[in-house]
Structure 1
């Protein structure tokens, strides 16, 4: 999972919008899970 994200980010490095989109999606997926585990 993590390696795939970094691979996509590497390919999208020239496209700032796509990179930000990947970060946003990754954050929306990870943060709720992290908060769920903490709670």
Structure 2
């Protein structure tokens, strides 16, 4: 996220809640994860 997405997009993180959601598969061998970060346009 911080080394690939932010450098190539006109946004940066800002103050606010960060949410991480992890959902394991039914057999617990894999998991899906979502990371939600507050962002705002970078001022250039």
TM-score by length of structure 2 reads 0.26
The higher radius of gyration belongs to 2
Structure with the bigger RCO (C-alpha within 8 Å, sep 6+) is 2
More helix by percentage: 1
